[in-house]
């Protein structure tokens, strides 16, 4: 694959392509034209062709794209052929929902341990992954090559736990707490702010109602 810089706009569309190509692959589809993919994904065929051109010669004029090849190459670009080892902090409902998400391993993400302060949860297992007390976080990470921390805890505790994860040497934090984290520049943060998403929905409902009245 060509080693040229790909724009953030293209990158942000890759997971969606990957998702659709995975579904096609599961359905046994071997080839697909940009036109067919366009109808399926509701984006223009020219957008698709432009996006895929970033990765070199994926399709041949008139023959369409090889679904399996494209799926594999986009997966590589997304780093899904790499293995990552995670610790999940917070074994509440959201934490358990995340830990139960079986596609994790298919994407190369392995949850090594779950941590919580709740004595009632410690010692239990979520899909065979044990829940440990928070005091053991540092020693646990020291013994293993943990590169990602997942935060599914209230925002009041998030900053302090993020600091501890950074000291443990994680490269990235997947943050579900409703707060923006202050971490060193070399630690990546990917936020999932559910409340922001809810507000966006609310804005759009409001706006749509106002437009209808016009």
Smallest distance from the beta carbon of 94 to its own copies, in angstroms?
A: 4
Return the number of the residue (61 or 214) whose C-beta is nearest its own copies: 214
Q: 1: Cβ–Cβ under 8 A, 6 or more apart, which residues?
A: 55, 56, 73, 76, 77
Return the number of the residue (105 or 135) whose C-beta is nearest its own copies: 105
Smallest distance from the beta carbon of 15 to its own copies, in angstroms?
A: 4
Return the number of the residue (75 or 133) whose C-beta is nearest its own copies: 75
Smallest distance from the beta carbon of 91 to its own copies, in angstroms?
A: 10
C-alpha dist (Å) from residue 54 to 2, 81, 151 = 8, 20, 34
Return the number of the residue (136 or 163) whose C-beta is nearest its own copies: 163
Q: With contact defined as beta carbons under 8 Å apart, do 31 and 65 qualify?
A: yes
Smallest distance from the beta carbon of 131 to its own copies, in angstroms?
A: 14
C-alpha dist (Å) from residue 127 to 130, 176, 185 = 8, 20, 33
Q: Which helix (H) or strand (E) holds 141?
A: helix 137-143
Which pair of tokens denotes residue 138? 């540092």
List of residues contacting its own copies (CB under 8 A): 11-12, 14-16, 18-19, 41-42, 77-80, 82, 84, 92-94, 96-98, 100-101, 103-104, 107-109, 147-148, 171-172, 174, 178, 180, 186, 188, 190, 192-209
Handedness of CA 22, 5, 189, 85 (dihedral sign): positive
Smallest distance from the beta carbon of 79 to its own copies, in angstroms?
A: 3
The DSSP letter of residue 91 is -
Return the number of the residue (129 or 172) whose C-beta is nearest its own copies: 172
């Amino acid at each position: 694959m060509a080693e040229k810089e790909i724009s953030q706009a293209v990158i942000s569309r890759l997971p969606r392509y990957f998702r659709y190509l995975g579904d096609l692959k599961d359905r046994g589809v071997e080839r697909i034209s940009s036109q067919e993919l366009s109808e399926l994904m509701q984006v223009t065929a020219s957008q698709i062709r432009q996006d895929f051109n970033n990765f070199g010669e994926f399709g041949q004029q008139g023959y369409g794209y090889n679904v399996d090849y494209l799926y594999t190459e986009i997966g590589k670009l997304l780093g899904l052929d790499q293995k990552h080892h995670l610790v999940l902090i917070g074994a509440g409902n959201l934490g358990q929902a995340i830990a139960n998400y079986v596609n994790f391993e298919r994407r190369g993400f392995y949850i090594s341990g779950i941590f919580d302060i709740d004595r009632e949860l410690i010692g239990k297992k979520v899909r065979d992954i044990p829940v440990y007390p928070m005091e053991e976080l540092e020693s646990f990470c020291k013994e293993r090559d943990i590169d990602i921390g997942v935060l599914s805890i209230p925002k009041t505790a998030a900053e302090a736990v993020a600091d501890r994860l950074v000291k443990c040497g994680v490269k990235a934090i997947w943050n579900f707490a409703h707060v923006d984290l202050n971490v060193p520049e070399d630690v990546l943060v990917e936020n999932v702010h559910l409340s922001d998403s809810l507000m966006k929905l609310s804005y759009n409902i409001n706006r749509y109602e106002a437009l209808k009245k016009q």
